[in-house]
DNA sequence: ACCTGAACACCGTTCAAGT
DNA sequence: ACCTGAACACCGTTCAAGT
């Protein structure tokens, strides 16, 4: 997020000098690697190779692979935080929706993120700030502290959970490129259609919706239910 | 779930004979190992040792570690399915709540489950049946097929996401037992209290709620918001 | 202060061979 | 049909040593 951060700074001598990194460079390269090859593609050796150094040097910046994933996830959420900095209408529910959608968009294309986003606020400063940011929106609603705590956690849980579920690290064949995403979906749909209609009435009832569905629409529909419930609660309604 | 399944069937000769398993025994032992030592504690060698055989023999039952996790997760969800078999009042919303709570309870004490539950219905028959089961409840509500599809996915996403988030594979110190769960929570709370109140008004607003909160209550509160939104929709309301 | 190379103690997976 | 032992190609992490 700052610092010049040019990895592989070779001195001009021609003789190969020591590589030099920075935390920001390490995280940027880690995110790139994660986006390209998924969580299991991020090995310390592969990352070090991209940075032009040895794997052991990474331990200067992070305590291990786990912290690396935590910080990589947090750096992405830092981007979300910036992107929603100016969101502030006079409708807190609408703002909650905007922020949640921004989070969803960041996570859904990064299957690896689901497992590491917002999981360790002590080590993830941007996650903490994002949680605070969402919570502040609830402070504009006439709720008790407890209700605000619950509402904020519910929104965060729904976003992370749904995005992680949808962006699921797909089966190995898809990752390796043997089978395209579309093909994979078509195959799943065919399998659903082949199920016995007496045993699986619901699956048959919605299989066409499933076949033509868009993850983003589906997420928004669920989010709208949650926010409708929250709004009702803020108006003093009970279910 | 069936089959005699006694691993380590030594012949009485005294000479060590070949081990013999069954898929059910493999999965039961895998779940036990996962519950005791988390996802990273499940190694094929450790599992084989518990079963009294070699790691290579596991490949007769599963295609690899990934499928093993998928099937272990699915076997737990099979238990949930059985436990909710008789749930059927005349209020579908109440039944949805009951089923969701049962799922939550099964997942929250098994941090490893979050990442594998319901992720691959093609390979997870019980997950598919549970999805069907939840969907059938929505068929008792006056909604369109699309709304039912969205509602079902929202409930599942919320349950899995929230449970995974809460039951998070905790930091290494906690797994290893160096730090107790209570101590860990107390530390996190203290960190929150130490934050600048001007920068983090929401955190300060809810820190007491956080300190005394119960995960199950928090889940139910969020679920109630979601279901309240769904009920409103079923009554023809819009947010 | 920051980086390296080599070593250590593991992994999942494969395979020819056994029973 | 089902299990084994040994090997292969990796891992994350540590550490003494370098600059």
Task: Annotate B76-106 with DSSP letters as a single string.
Answer: HHHHHHHHTTT---S-HHHHHHHHHHHHHHH
Contact B202 A152 (CB under 8 A): yes
User: Would you state the pLDDT for residue B164?
Assistant: 81
Q: Is residue B102 left, alpha or beta, with left meaning phi > 0 and alpha meaning psi from -120 to 50?
A: alpha
What does the block give as tokens for A44?
Answer: 């310390």
Sign of the Cα pseudo-torsion (B176, B182, B188, B191, in order): negative
Task: Give the list of residues 6+ apart from residue A29 with CB closer than 8 angstroms, or none.
Answer: A7, A47, A50, A51
Distance B48 CA to C11 C1' (A): 14
d(CA B230, CA A228): 8
**Which residues are within 7 Å of strand C by their Cβ atom?**
A 18-21, 48, 52-57, 60-61; B 18, 42-46, 55-56, 59, 64-66
User: Would you state the pLDDT for residue A12?
Assistant: 25
User: Would you state the pLDDT for residue A239?
Assistant: 41
* Minimal CA separation from A13 to chain B, in Å: 44
Task: Give the list of residues 6+ apart from residue B3 with CB closer than 8 angstroms, or none.
Answer: B22, B23, B24, B25
User: Would you state the pLDDT for residue B7?
Assistant: 30
pLDDT band at A171 (very low <50, low <70, confident <90, very high): low
For the stretch A182-204, pLDDT in tens is 777 788 899 999 999 999 999 99
d(CA B214, CA B111): 16
Stretch A26-49: mean pLDDT: 96
User: Would you state the pLDDT for residue A71?
Assistant: 97
Provide the Cα torsion B207, A93, A142, B188; round to 10°.
0
Stretch A105-123: mean pLDDT: 89
Cβ contact A209:A218 at 8 Å: no
d(CA A149, CA B226): 15
For the stretch A46-90, pLDDT in tens is 999 999 999 999 999 999 999 999 999 999 999 999 999 999 999
How far is CA B99 from each of CA A53, B3, B54, rounded to the nearest angstrom?
52, 28, 39
Chain A residue nearest residue B210, CA to CA: A149
Cβ contact B9:B20 at 8 Å: yes
The CATH number of the domain covering residues in A88-239? 1.10.357.10
Contact A153 B222 (CB under 8 A): yes
Cβ contact A160:A152 at 8 Å: no
Nucleotides of chain C in contact with protein CB (under 7 A) are 2-6, 10-16, 18-19
User: Would you state the pLDDT for residue B166?
Assistant: 81
The CATH number of the domain covering residues in A1-63? 1.10.10
Q: Which residue is nearest to nucleotide D14 (CA to C1')?
A: A56
E strand map for A73-194? none
Contact B225 A149 (CB under 8 A): no
User: Would you state the pLDDT for residue A170?
Assistant: 58
User: Would you state the pLDDT for residue B1?
Assistant: 30
Nucleotide closest in space to B58 (CA vs C1'): D3
Q: Which residue is nearest to nucleotide C1 (CA to C1')?
A: A60
Distance A34 CA to D19 C1' (A): 32
For the stretch B115-148, pLDDT in tens is 899 988 888 999 999 999 999 999 999 999 999 9
State the DSSP H helix or E strand holding residue B159, giving kind and residue range, or none if neither: helix B145-166
Domain boundaries, chain A: 1-63, 88-239
B49 Cβ contacts chain D strand, under 7 Å: no
A55 Cβ contacts chain D strand, under 7 Å: yes
d(CA B148, CA A8): 54
Chain B residue nearest residue A233, CA to CA: B225
Chain A residue nearest residue B231, CA to CA: A239
pTM score of the predicted model: 0.89
Higher-scoring residue by pLDDT: A174, B150: B150
Provide the Cα torsion A116, A122, B216, B213; round to 10°.
-170
User: Would you state the pLDDT for residue A30?
Assistant: 97
User: Would you state the pLDDT for residue A186?
Assistant: 83
DSSP 8-state symbol, A30: H
Positions of chain B with pLDDT lower than 50, given as ranges: 1-16, 239
Contact A229 B228 (CB under 8 A): yes
**Probe site for chain B from A154, A193, A215 (most B CB atoms < 10 A):** A154
Stretch A151-157: mean pLDDT: 96
B136, B209, B227 member nearest A149 (Cβ): B209
């Amino acid at each position: 997020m700052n610092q010049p951060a040019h990895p592989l700074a070779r001195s001009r001598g021609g003789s190969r000098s020591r590589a030099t990194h920075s935390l920001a460079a390490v995280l940027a390269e880690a995110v790139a690697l994660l986006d390209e090859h998924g969580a299991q593609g991020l090995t310390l050796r592969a990352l070090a190779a991209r940075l032009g150094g040895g794997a052991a040097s990474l331990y200067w910046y992070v305590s291990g692979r786990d912290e690396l994933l935590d910080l990589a996830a947090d750096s992405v959420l830092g981007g979300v935080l910036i992107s929603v900095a100016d969101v502030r209408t006079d409708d807190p529910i609408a703002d909650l929706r905007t922020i949640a959608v921004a989070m969803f968009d960041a996570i859904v294309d990064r299957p690896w993120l689901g497992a590491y986003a917002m999981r360790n606020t002590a080590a993830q400063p941007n996650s903490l700030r994002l949680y605070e940011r969402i919570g502040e929106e609830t402070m504009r609603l006439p709720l008790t502290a407890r209700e605000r705590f619950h509402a904020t956690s519910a929104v965060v849980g729904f976003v992370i959970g749904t995005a992680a579920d949808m962006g699921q690290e797909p089966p190995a064949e898809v990752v390796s490129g043997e089978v395209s995403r579309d093909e994979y979906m078509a195959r799943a749909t065919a399998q659903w259609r082949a199920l016995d209609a007496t045993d699986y009435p619901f699956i048959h009832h919605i299989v066409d919706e499933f076949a033509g569905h868009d993850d983003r629409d589906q997420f928004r529909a669920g989010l709208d239910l949650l926010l409708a419930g929250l709004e009702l609660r803020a108006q003093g309604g009970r279910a």
